Amino acid sequence: MITGGKDISCPDSSRTTLRPLPAPAPALAAPSLSATRVRARPWPHLLVRHVVFALGVCAVVLGLGVAFTAPLRASKGRIINIGSIQSLMHVRTPSSAAYTASKHGVLGFTRALAAELGKDGVRVNAIGPGFIETPFNAKMRAENPERVKIFVEHTPLGRPGTPDDIVGPAIFLASDLSAFVTGSIILADGGYRTV
């Protein structure tokens, strides 16, 4: 979640931490949320993990109350959550029921926060990436080229995304260009949901 000067991240454990970020790049003066990591485990474990993740983020934002939201409200800050195309649809892959449920939760959380914080000028949105090549999924891509092929063939732009493909939507949502956008999700999926 991109928040006013803090990185809320959930590393391999379910613990949530707040830590100051290094100086941001001039083009985007906002921090970021590292995504939870999904491993091949039985789906009930993943569902619990993702629900715990969503509740953990919620508890941090709402539980800290004034201490956390006061600076956001004072600065009319922006929160950018990272959802997925699975915030809006289900993609049948191993353990994907839990992932879909968690990403639906991220979108619901985004919309709820937008409704709660909008009166104070805080905008809350999400980015919904499609299939993005990252170091985290490199092993899956190497071991399952057929799955990658299925995603790429279904994507009108004919390629997987890269982390750089998420930068533009993040800059837009963090900037005043999106001054009247809140409670929304911007899909960066190469057109995957259009087919």
Looking at 99, 109, 131, 192, which residue is catalytic?
A: 99
Distances (CA, A) of 151 to 130, 154, 168: 9, 5, 22
**Contact indicator for 173, 127 with CB cutoff of 8 Å:** yes
Q: What are phi and psi of 175, to 5 degrees?
A: -100, 175
Distance between first and last Cα of the chain:
29
Distance CA 71, CA 61 (A): 12
**Contact indicator for 47, 97 with CB cutoff of 8 Å:** yes
Could you confirm whether 192 is annotated as catalytic?
no
C-alpha radius of gyration, the chain, whole number:
17
User: Which residue matches tokens 């922006």?
Assistant: 78
Helix and strand element counts for the chain (H, E): 6, 5
Distance CA 125, CA 1 (A): 10
Catalytic positions: 99
